[in-house]
């Protein structure tokens, strides 16, 4: 039986899918010049177009920016397709990828001969590649680009059955093999799945992308299919067995995925390298969580105390565990009385079915009960008691154990169940620090609070996960850091990101 433990996080903010760009470097209609590539070249997949390492191109782009005053690009304008840039050969292949409301990122690949173009999300939390097949008549498939293997001269039938189970549905299909092009790299005989049915969570407007491109280790792959990155390494199509993400922040902004190396221009300081504890996911050890300059580890506290009634002033103090038991219980009782008085003064009513329906109608994208923001995680393994976390570009938010998430929610003033919170609290919040692989990493309030600019609402990015053996640090965390994934040495490097914000 095929079991894939992660489900892509999807939120209902997406717009209509944009025309796909040819992953070999050409485009269908934008007029971007074809990118040349030689074997062994590092390849860039820009989630946000970035400066090229080539000094001439770097200067040309800076000059173009000054002349055109482009910090935000109107639709249909390609920043690199300027008069000064024409004739310069890029040293990376380029594929435009998009930030969709800070909840997921997608870019373009092509499959087959001649090329058929697809938008995919590049997911470090899964290892398979799949795209909609022409035989798929689900509404989700009909709304997206579909792969027709009869139109490809390089298609080969594999014939295996393929299924990935999601929270409220699944995708099903069969396995095939064809030429795949991504960021100027051509991967011959790449195995993947073409779907024959897809669940409604992949329908528009929830999901702009067509399929998924897994970047986890081969041991996670369903059906024994070799992941595309593994094939690139085996065929020596990249200089190094490394890829790196620089995720942008802001709807329709660009980031960058670099295959075969990493870009030193995109981070500040030095990379902090962490060993992968289990080469399946990009999983690292996790030692603790702290709020602001607090000295107490919230991860340890949540394991030992009844956090539902724990006084906040004690949570944030540095000597919580030194309190006598009777003083601890008295403090909890005092806080309970004060909470009751506040509730009476504000005439807060008990939540009923009607208010629950109103909440769901007003905040559907951040509903914690919605399968669109949950991955189907593996059940806990009794052989791995230590806390760990995976770095997952296919997850929007930050998933962790319910006790710690409940504690964080109380501290930042968010509803534990729904994540809803007042935007006015942002100015008073402090950073939260997470220790991974022995290093502390900062998550600022602008990263762990999700803001819906259209609805003018805010919600916490901290989501409780009841059945996962590890924490899942998704895009809310990764947007703050340049992340380098080394498949050979099985390690991950993080450093504060350094990228200009650019939009369509």
pLDDT tens figures, 236-255: 999 899 999 989 877 777 88
The better pLDDT of the pair 485, 363 is held by 485
What does the pLDDT average to over 275-290?
96
Banded model confidence at residue 320, pLDDT cuts 50, 70, 90: very low
Q: Is 431 exposed, middle or buried (0-12, 13-18, 19+ CB in 10 A)?
A: middle
What does the pLDDT average to over 316-320?
57
Q: What is the pLDDT of residue 234?
A: 96
Banded model confidence at residue 468, pLDDT cuts 50, 70, 90: confident
What percentage of the chain reaches a pLDDT higher than 70? 64
CB atoms within 10 A of CB 179: 20
Q: What is the pLDDT of residue 117?
A: 94
Q: What is the pLDDT of residue 453?
A: 77
* Nearest to 198, CA basis, from 249, 253, 124, 147: 147
Q: What is the pLDDT of residue 87?
A: 37
Report the mean per-residue pLDDT for the chain. 75
Confidence check: pLDDT of 469 > 70: yes
248-252, 304-308, 331-335, 354-358: range with lowest mean pLDDT: 354-358
d(C-alpha 227, C-alpha 368), whole Å: 31
Query: Which of 243-252, 257-266, 473-482 reaches the highest mean pLDDT?
Result: 473-482
Structure tokens at 451: 């803001």
d(C-alpha 122, C-alpha 214), whole Å: 6
What does the pLDDT average to over 69-79?
33
What does the pLDDT average to over 475-490?
96
CB atoms within 10 A of CB 467: 10
Confidence check: pLDDT of 171 > 90: yes
Task: Look up the pTM and report it.
Answer: 0.73
Contacts of 347 (CB under 8 A, 6+ apart): none
The better pLDDT of the pair 193, 98 is held by 193
Confidence check: pLDDT of 136 > 80: yes
What does the pLDDT average to over 78-93?
39
Q: What is the pLDDT of residue 306?
A: 62
Q: What is the pLDDT of residue 502?
A: 57
d(C-alpha 404, C-alpha 393), whole Å: 22
What does the pLDDT average to over 20-39?
38
What does the pLDDT average to over 278-300?
91
The better pLDDT of the pair 192, 32 is held by 192
Q: What is the pLDDT of residue 377?
A: 44
The alpha carbon dihedral of 343, 348, 352, 357 has a sign of negative
Contacts of 236 (CB under 8 A, 6+ apart): 39, 40
Q: In 297-336, which positions are buried (b, 16+ CB within 10 angstroms) versus exposed (e)?
A: bbbebbeebebeebbeebbbeeebeeeeeeebeebbeebe
pLDDT digits (tens, 9 = 90+) for 338-393: 666 666 665 555 555 445 444 443 443 334 433 333 344 443 343 344 799 999 99
* Nearest to 441, CA basis, from 396, 501, 389: 389
Q: What is the pLDDT of residue 379?
A: 39
Query: Which of 71-75, 77-81, 251-255 reaches the highest mean pLDDT?
Result: 251-255
Confidence check: pLDDT of 130 > 50: yes
Confidence check: pLDDT of 174 > 80: yes
Confidence check: pLDDT of 62 > 50: no
Residues β-bridged to residue 464: 400
Q: What is the pLDDT of residue 94?
A: 56
Q: What is the pLDDT of residue 348?
A: 52
Structure tokens at 137: 């008549």
Structure tokens at 240: 């190094």
What does the pLDDT average to over 468-478?
94
Q: How many CA atoms lie within 13 A of 50 on its CB side?
A: 29
CB atoms within 10 A of CB 429: 18
Q: Are 143 and 199 in contact (CB under 8 A)?
A: no
């Amino acid at each position: 039986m095929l079991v894939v433990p992660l489900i892509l996080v999807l939120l209902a903010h997406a717009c209509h899918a944009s025309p796909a760009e040819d992953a070999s470097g050409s485009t269908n209609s934008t007029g971007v010049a074809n990118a040349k590539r030689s074997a062994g070249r590092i390849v860039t997949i820009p989630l946000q177009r970035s400066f090229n390492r080539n000094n001439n191109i770097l200067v040309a782009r800076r000059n173009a920016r000054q002349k055109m005053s482009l910090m935000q690009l109107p639709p249909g304008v390609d920043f690199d397709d300027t008069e000064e840039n024409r004739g310069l050969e890029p040293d990376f292949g380029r594929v435009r990828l998009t930030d969709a409301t800070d909840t997921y990122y997608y870019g373009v690949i092509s499959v087959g001969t001649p090329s058929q173009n697809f938008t995919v999300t590049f997911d470090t939390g899964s290892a398979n590649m799949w795209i909609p097949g022409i035989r798929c008549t689900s509404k989700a498939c009909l709304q997206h680009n579909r792969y027709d293997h009869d139109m490809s001269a390089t298609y080969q039938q594999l014939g295996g059955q393929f299924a990935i189970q999601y929270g409220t549905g699944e995708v099903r299909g069969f396995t095939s093999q064809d030429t795949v092009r991504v960021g100027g790299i051509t991967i011959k005989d790449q195995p993947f799945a073409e779907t024959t049915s897809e669940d409604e969570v992949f329908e528009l407007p929830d999901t702009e992308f067509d399929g998924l491109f897994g970047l986890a280790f081969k041991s996670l792959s369903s059906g024994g299919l070799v992941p595309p990155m593994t094939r690139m390494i085996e065929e020596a199509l990249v200089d190094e067995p490394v890829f790196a993400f620089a995720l942008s922040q802001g709807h329709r902004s660009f980031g960058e995925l670099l295959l075969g190396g990493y870009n030193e221009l995109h981070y500040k300081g030095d990379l902090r390298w962490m060993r992968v504890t289990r080469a399946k996911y990009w999983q690292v050890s996790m030692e603790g969580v702290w709020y602001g300059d607090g000295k107490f580890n919230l991860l340890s506290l949540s394991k030992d105390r009844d956090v539902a009634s724990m006084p906040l002033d004690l949570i944030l103090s540095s000597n919580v565990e030194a309190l006598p038991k009777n003083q601890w219980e008295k403090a909890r009782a005092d806080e309970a009385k004060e909470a009751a008085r506040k509730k009476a003064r504000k005439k807060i009513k008990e939540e009923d079915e009607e208010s629950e329906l109103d909440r769901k109608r007003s905040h559907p994208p951040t509903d914690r009960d919605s399968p669109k923001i949950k991955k189907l995680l593996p059940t806990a393994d009794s052989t791995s008691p230590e806390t760990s976390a995976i770095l997952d570009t296919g997850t929007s938010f930050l998933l962790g154990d319910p006790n710690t998430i409940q504690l964080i929610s109380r501290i930042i003033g968010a509803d534990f169940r729904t994540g809803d919170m007042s935007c006015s609290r942002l100015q008073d919040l402090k950073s939260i620090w997470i220790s991974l692989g022995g290093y502390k990493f900062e998550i600022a309030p602008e990263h762990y609070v999700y803001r819906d600019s259209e609805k003018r609402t805010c919600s916490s990015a901290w989501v409780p996960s009841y059945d996962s053996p590890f924490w899942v640090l998704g895009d809310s965390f990764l947007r703050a850091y340049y992340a380098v994934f080394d498949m050979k040495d099985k390690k991950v490097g993080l450093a504060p990101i350094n990228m200009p914000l650019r939009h369509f």
